[in-house]
Structure 1
Amino acid sequence: MSETTHDGGVAVSALPSPDEGLTAAQLAAKYGLAVSGARPPVREYVRQLWGRRHFILAFSRAKLTAQYSQAKLGQLWQVATPLLNAFVYFMIFGVLLNASRGMPKDVYIPFLVTGVFVFTFTQSSVMSGVRAISGNLGLVRALHFPRASLPISFALQQLQQLLYSMLVMFVVVIGFGSYPDASWALIVPVLILQFAFNTGLALVFARAGAKTPDLAQLMPFVMRTWMYASGVMFSIPVFLADKPQWVANVLQWNPAAIYMDLMRFALIEEYGAENLPDHVWAVAGGWALLLAVGGFLYFWKAEERYGRG
C-alpha cells in the first residue's frame, strides 16, 4: 500500500502481519514450537532413554573406574570396603554382642558378609542417587538429555560394583562350606529385582536431592538406621523371638531385609526357607515393581525443573 505525501513524495506503509494479535501460545502452536527442556510424554521419554542407553552404560563405567582412581589400591577398594565393614560388624555384633545367637560361626560369617554386600548395593544406590542431579548441574545445564539417565547410570554403576564384589562373597561362602548348587541360580532373579528396586529408589531421591541438596547430609543417618532395622548383623526371627510377631513381620517385609534374605537363601546351605517371611517372592516383586514404576513417574514429573535454580 502507498500514499502521496504533501511534498509530492510517496510513502509506503507496511502490510499488516498475518500473526498480528496472536498470543505466544498460538504462535508456538502455529509454527510447531516447543518449550526448551519441556517434559515429553512418558512413552516418548522412555524412547529417549533407550536411545541414550550407550551413554548410560558408558557413564556408569567411567564413574566406576574413576571412583578409586586416586587411591593406590585402586579398584581393590570395591571389595575391601565391604569386607572391612563386615569384619568390624563381626567383631562388634558377632563377638562382643553375640548377635549370632545360636547360629554357628560357619553360618554366621557368610550370613553377615552376604548381608553387608547386598545392603551396601542398596545404600550406595541411594547415596549416589541423591546427588545425581545436584552433583552434576554443569552437565544438566549444558546438554539436553533425559535427566533420568543420571540416577539410572549411578544405580547401574553400583550393580557393576556389586558383581565384582560378589566374586569375594562367593569365596567366603564356599570357604565356610556352602558349595554351588541349583539354588545359586536364584541369584539372578534376586539381583534383577533388587536392581529394579534400587533404581526406583535412586530416582526418588534424585528428585528430592535436586530440590533439597542438604538431603545428602541427612541420608547417611537414615541409611544407618535402615541397616540396623534390616537384619544385616542378626537374624530377625531369632533376635526378636521374645517380641510380638508383628514387629518381626514388619522388619522382615522391609525390602532391604527381603533381598538380603533371598540372597542368603540362595547362597548358604544351612539358611533354609524357614528363615524367610511368607510370600517372599511376591513381596520382593511387589517392592521392585512399586519403586521402579512409581520412582520413574515421580522423577519424570519434575523433568522440566532439573537444573533451573
Structure 2
Amino acid sequence: MPQTLAPPAPAPASAPGTTPDPELRALAERHGLTMSGARPSLPEYTRQLWQRRHFITSFATARLTAMYTTAKLGQLWQVLTPLLNAAVYYLIFGVLLGTKNGVKDYIPFLVTGVFVFTFLQNSVMTGTRAISGNLGLVRALHFPRACLPISFCLAQLQQLLFSMSVLGVILLCFGQLPTWSWLLVLPALTLQFIFNTGLAMVMARLGSKTPDLAQLMPFVMRTWMYASGVMFSISRILQGKHLPKIVEVLLNGNPAAVYIDLMRFALIDSFTHKQLPPHVWAFAAGWALLAGVVGFVYFWKAEERYGRG
C-alpha cells in the first residue's frame, strides 16, 4: 500500500531576527509589551535617570569607600595622592626647571592646579571603564547605563570636596584668608562637574567597544596636563615666544586650563582677573554645555548595545 506524504508545515509567521508579524506587534502594543532592551526616548531616558538618583549617589559613595578599604591609611589617600604629586611637581618643575619664578604664591597656585586636574583626570579614567569594567552589573540588571559614568564622576566630586578641606588649610598656611571670592568655587566646580560627566560618557561608550582605550588614556591625560598650566603660568610661558595666535587661543581656551584658572582666581588673592583669559566664564559655561549635552546624547544613542557581545 503506497504511503501518503504529509503536506509541508506552514512557514512560521516570523523567523528569528526578522520583523515580527503585524498582528503579534499589535497584540504586544495593546498589552503594553515592548522590545527587550529597546532604547527609550531621550525624555523618558532622562526621567528614568532621575528616578534612580538615589541609586547613583549611593553607588558613588559605596565605590569611593571601597577604593581604599584595603589600604592601611584608608581614605587619607584621597588627599595624600594629589599632595604627593604636587610635591614631585614642585621639585621637578618649580625648583629644577624654575617655573615658580615670577609666580606669586606658587605652592597654592600649584596645589590648586593639581587638585582640579586630578578631578578631571580621574573622572575621565574611571568613565572610560564605566561599562567595560562593570559588565556583570550591566548584564545582570536593567537600569539606564548612564547611571554608571554619572556615579563615577560623582564619586570623584566627593573625593575632591573631601580634599578641599586640606587645600583650605594649605591656603591658610600661605596667607590666603577666606574672602567672598571663595564662593566662586561653587559655580566653577558645578560647571567642571558637568563637563567631566559629559566627557566621561563619551569615553564610556568608546571604552565599551574598545577596552584597550583605557591603556592609552594615561598618556593622553598626561599630555593634556602638561598643556593646561598645572605646574606653570600659561601667560608667563607665552611671553616673548611669538607663537601663532591660534596656539595662544588653544592654550587659554583649553577646558582644563579654564577650570583651573577659575579655581585659582577664586582662592588665591594674587591671581587676579588680569591673569584670566578673556570671557573665561563664557568659556567655562560653553564647555560644560557642549560636553554635557553631546556626551549625554552620544551615550544614550548606544544604550541598547551596552553589555552585548
Fold in common (TM above 0.5): yes
Aligned to 1:68: 68
> How many angstroms apart in 1 are the aligned matches of 2:133 and 2:280?
36
Aligned pairs for 1:22-33 within 5 A:
24-26=20-22, 27-32=24-29, 33=33
Structure 2 CA distance, aligned partners of 1:38 and 1:21? 19
Partner of 1:9: none
Q: Distance in 2 between matches of 1:45 and 1:39?
A: 8
Identity between Structure 1 and Structure 2 (%): 67
Offset of 1:254 from its aligned partner?
0.6
**CA 1:21–1:222 in structure 2 vs 1: closer, same or farther (change >3 Å)?**
closer
Give the counterpart of 1:130 among 128, 131, 138. 128
Letter of the 1:24 partner, please give it.
P
Contact 1:128 1:154 (C-alpha < 8 Å) held by counterparts: yes
State the Cα distance separating 1:54 from its structure 2 match. Answer: 0.7
Structure 1 residues 242 and 37: CA distance shift in structure 2, 3 A? same
CA distance in 2, matches of 1:281, 1:216: 31
Q: CA deviation at 1:173?
A: 1.1
Is the aligned partner of 1:227 residue 2:230?
Answer: no
Q: Deviations over 1:103-124 (max 9, x none)?
A: 24xx100000000000000000
Describe the superposition over 1:6-65 as per-residue Cα deviations: whole angstroms up to 9, x where unpaired: xxxxxxxxxxxxx97996152223322322111000000000000111110000000000
Going from structure 1 to structure 2, the CA distance change for 1:57 and 1:25 (only over 3 Å counts) comes to farther
Asked if 1:77 corresponds to 2:73, the answer is: no
- Show the 5 A alignment for 1:15-164: 24-26=20-22, 27-32=24-29, 33-104=33-104, 107-164=105-162
1:281 aligns with 281
User: Counterparts of 1:25 and 1:196 in 2: how far apart (Å)?
Assistant: 44
Q: Which residue of 1 aligns with 2:3?
A: none
Name the aligned partner's letter for residue 120 of structure 2. Answer: T
Asked whether the 8 Å contact 1:28–1:34 carries over to 2, the reply is no
CA distance in 1, matches of 2:175, 2:249: 30
Decide whether the 8 Å contact of 2:13 with 2:21 is kept in 1: no
CA-based RMSD of the aligned residues comes to 1.6
Contact 2:14 2:21 in 1 (8 A): no
Deviations 1:135-182 (A, max 9, x none): 000000001100000000000000000000010111111111111101
Alignment partner of 1:272 is 2:268: no
- TM-score, L = length of structure 1: 0.91
Query: Where does structure 1 lack aligned partners over 5 or more consecutive residues?
Result: 1-18
Structure 1 partner of 2:173: 175
Q: Paired residue for 2:300?
A: 300
- Using a 3 Å threshold, how does the CA distance of structure 1 residues 55 and 97 change in structure 2: closer, same or farther? same
Which whole-Å CA distance do the structure 2 matches of 1:20 and 1:60 have between them?
47
Relative to the length of structure 2, the TM-score reads: 0.91
Distance between the aligned counterparts of 1:198 and 1:58, measured in 2?
19
Q: Is the 8 A contact 1:119 1:260 kept in 2?
A: yes
Give the 3-state SS of the residue equivalent to 1:24 in structure 2. coil
Q: Corresponding residue for 1:215?
A: 213
Which runs of 4 or more aligned residues in structure 1 lie more than 4 Å from their structure 2 counterparts after TM superposition? 19-23
The structure with the larger Rg is 1
Post-superposition CA distance 1:168-222 (Å, at most 9, x none): 1111111111111010010000010000000001100000000000000000000
- How has the CA–CA distance of structure 1 residues 200 and 25 changed in structure 2, closer, same or farther, with 3 Å as cutoff? farther
- Structure 1 distance, partners of 2:28, 2:74, is 54
SS in structure 2 at match of 1:207: helix
Gaps of 5+ in 2: 1-11
- For residues 293 and 21 of structure 1, the distance between their equivalents in structure 2, rounded to whole angstroms, comes to 39
Contact 2:195 2:289 in 1 (8 A): yes
Q: Contact 2:28 / 2:34 at 8 angstroms: preserved in 1?
A: no
The SS at the match of 2:270 is coil
Quote the offset at 1:248 in angstroms. 2.5
Alignment-derived partner of residue 3 in structure 1:
none
- Rounded to whole Å, the distance in 1 between the matches of 2:39 and 2:213 is 25
- The superposition leaves residues 243-298 of structure 1 with CA deviations (integer Å, 9 ceiling, x where unpaired) of 22432221111100000000000000000011110000001000000000110000
